[in-house]
Structure 1
Amino acid sequence: MTNNSSIGGAYMQRQINFQFVLVQLLVSIFLCINLLLIVTFFSKDVFYLTMRYILFAVTLLSDSLILIMSDVVFILAYFHFTMQVGICVIMSIVLLLYIFVTPITLTAMTLERFVAICMPLQHAELCSAHRALHCILIIHALSSMPCIVILSIFFASASHRFYTQDRICSVEMFILRRWHDHVRSAVSQFYFLIMCITIVYSYIKIMKVAKAASGENKKSTWKGLRTVILHAFQLLLCLIQLWCPFIESAVLQIDFMLFINVRYFNYITFILTPRCLSPLIYGLRDEMFFHALKYYALCGLYKKQSSDLVCSSN
């Protein structure tokens, strides 16, 4: 029995070490890809003077920040490092804020496509670079509301001594009462509902325009429709992570080791992977951005082709 326990313990240790290495490898790869996409964004004036590219850059920066912050929390928890609750609160504020920034930005990108296709005469005015700055402020304001609600409940419930305690940093630390979890769930589901309604409404309107269009307009409209579908898929991946804590809480009541495995799977599948794959897919679908990305990814081997494309588009 002792030998079997030792072998089992050694196996679990190897498995946990493999999981840790895998997470660090994925984070490093995804951050490098996002960094390449960000460099590509700043490479051409047309990118940071167009609303849809500006919003795309917001998702890249938001996703990169979440990758870094979540990995820091993961490393601290893996090595059982503790910190004062007050310091953890500051880190968690950033995480809670930018968890919502990406899906709300995707919703804003869907609305931009809706305006471009269904209101083409107003698109230049409503979706200018100047308006994009206002849009970014609105996105962060809307994203801060769930954070304010969750933290307000926490501050009202936690004692002063609680902030000086040393604990392993985790978002679950803010759930001091059972009803706190219900409030967090209600806020997340409300945002999910509003964003889903926005995407479905935009899809239906664009579908009507696509059926009525003809020639080049029809081709452009159907391309916009596929973009909206992609945003819906991206949004679904981002919003699934809002359901992960509820799934993990239910699994924790069944078996602790199953809880660890489910949390690890959720972290890889619904937090790390969408933060890279979704922006990369969007960047590859845009012809102009793809050629600029190819130029930087291949160290300038396609400089002539990408330059010709940008010149022809201008």
Structure 2
Amino acid sequence: MQNLSSVQINATSDRSLTVIVKVCVVIPIFSIFLYFIILMLHTFASHRHFLESPRYILFTYMLANDTLQLLTSVLLFLFVMAQVKFALVFCAPLLFFSTATFLNTPLILAVMSLERYVAIFYPMRRPSAWRAERIWLIILAIWLLSCVQPVVDFVLSKPRSAADVLTMPVQCKTAVLNVSPAQMLFKVVLNALFFAVVAAVILFTYVRILLGTRTMRQDRASVSKALHTVLLHGLQLLLSTSAFTIPFTEHLIVLHVGWLREHMSFLNYVSFVVMPRVLSPLIYGLRDESLRTHMRRSPLCCSARGCGSSKVGHRGSKGKSPGK
């Protein structure tokens, strides 16, 4: 009996150490991401010309969406690590926003690629829907499309009774709602359709801009930046789709390497869910020269105090419009 008690204590101690290590990996990554997001949003709010550009409005929306996605994802991760259970009625909103914001990302990338296409080919007669004051209609359409899958999940999931939803504690995981083969089939088909359409849009805009450079009279530097931006959207899409490899990588590595499934799930979570969401907006935002310059002068930036020539630089770049 004493040996059994000792084994249980050691197992509990090992699990506690594992949980602490996992939390200490995720929380600093999320904190660094949150700092840069707050810095970018503060920069946008402090300089009005950013909010007059459809490109930067869409990018701001992407920042807000990725922040909400990571926030709900990290909360669900912490609940699982702490083995917290609560009623499905409180778990459902977290699962809803986590799924909707996840699907939001590829749609935003498609719209941002189309915005570059419109800016290059219709600079003087931009369609009204793509103007800064009307771009919110496109954002609303993106959000409504992203809500289709979680709404269907809730409709198809059938709890045993209303009392179960209000009182029965459950571990807040996506599997709580994915209980029928019809749900899984719908999710696979919808995800494949989302990412196939987005990939087609990004490929179309890139090829169209590339072929159109021979006949366009626009500044070649602007066109080159647009091409690089569309390519970056393709990279961001690949990072987003990497999350769908999780079931396959878990099965293969657990089968051939012998890792515990919970450790493999954590590695996949960090590699394919957290890191793509962290890197995607940071790479896109920090490569923008205009945004990067204003971020360095922000009082929230740790290097702002050392910029002795910030005022001079600000005067020199005040009249510049954001690059394409």
Fold conserved between structures, TM > 0.5? yes
- Structure-2 residue corresponding to 1:247: 248
Determine if contact 2:106/2:194 at 8 Å carries over to the other structure. no
Closer, same or farther in 2 for the Cα pair 1:307/1:285, shift >3 Å?
A: farther
- Structure-1 residue corresponding to 2:277: 275
- Structure-2 residue corresponding to 1:310: 318
2:287 alignment partner AA: R
> By how many angstroms is 1:289 displaced?
0.9
Q: Map of 1:88-107 to 2, 5 A cutoff?
A: 88-107=91-110
Closer, same or farther in 2 for the Cα pair 1:135/1:69, shift >3 Å?
A: same
Q: Does 1:37 align with 2:35?
A: no
Determine if contact 1:251/1:259 at 8 Å carries over to the other structure. no
> By how many angstroms is 1:114 displaced?
0.8
Closer, same or farther in 2 for the Cα pair 1:220/1:312, shift >3 Å?
A: closer
Q: 116, 125, 132: which one pairs with 1:122?
A: 125
- Structure-2 residue corresponding to 1:113: 116
Q: Map of 1:204-215 to 2, 5 A cutoff?
A: 204-213=207-216
1:40 alignment partner AA: T
> What SS is found at the alignment partner of 2:126?
helix
Cα separation, 2, equivalents of 1:130 and 1:225: 25
Moved more, 138-147 or 108-117: 138-147
Cα separation, 1, equivalents of 2:102 and 2:285: 21
Q: Does 1:158 align with 2:159?
A: yes
Determine if contact 1:248/1:263 at 8 Å carries over to the other structure. no
Q: 54, 58, 61: which one pairs with 2:61?
A: 58
> By how many angstroms is 1:119 displaced?
2.7
1:159 alignment partner AA: R
> By how many angstroms is 1:231 displaced?
0.7
Closer, same or farther in 2 for the Cα pair 1:148/1:303, shift >3 Å?
A: farther
1:170 alignment partner AA: K
Cα separation, 2, equivalents of 1:108 and 1:312: 25
Q: What CA deviation, in whole Å up to 9, does each residue of 1:114-134 have, x standing for no partner?
A: 111133333374521112111
TM-score by length of 2: 0.86
Determine if contact 1:210/1:218 at 8 Å carries over to the other structure. yes
- Structure-2 residue corresponding to 1:26: 29
Q: What CA deviation, in whole Å up to 9, does each residue of 1:149-195 have, x standing for no partner?
A: 222211xx322243131011011211112332222111111111111
Unaligned runs of 5+ in 2: none
Unaligned runs of 5+ in 1: none
- Structure-1 residue corresponding to 2:304: 299
Closer, same or farther in 2 for the Cα pair 1:307/1:68, shift >3 Å?
A: farther
- Structure-1 residue corresponding to 2:146: 143
Q: 13, 38, 52: which one pairs with 1:49?
A: 52
Determine if contact 1:97/1:144 at 8 Å carries over to the other structure. yes
- Identical aligned residues as a percent: 25
Runs of 4+ in 1 over 4 A off after TM superposition: 1-13, 248-257
Q: Does 1:178 align with 2:178?
A: no
Q: 277, 283, 286: which one pairs with 1:284?
A: 286
Cα separation, 1, equivalents of 2:82 and 2:252: 23
- Structure-2 residue corresponding to 1:258: 260
Q: If each structure's helix is expressed as a fraction of its own residues, which one has the higher value?
A: 1
Closer, same or farther in 2 for the Cα pair 1:284/1:162, shift >3 Å?
A: same
- Structure-2 residue corresponding to 1:201: 204
> By how many angstroms is 1:12 displaced?
5.4
Cα separation, 2, equivalents of 1:36 and 1:188: 32
Moved more, 113-122 or 253-262: 253-262
Closer, same or farther in 2 for the Cα pair 1:167/1:99, shift >3 Å?
A: same
Q: Does 1:221 align with 2:229?
A: no
Cα separation, 1, equivalents of 2:7 and 2:226: 59
1:108 alignment partner AA: V
> What SS is found at the alignment partner of 1:123?
coil
Closer, same or farther in 2 for the Cα pair 1:181/1:250, shift >3 Å?
A: farther
Cα separation, 1, equivalents of 2:199 and 2:64: 23
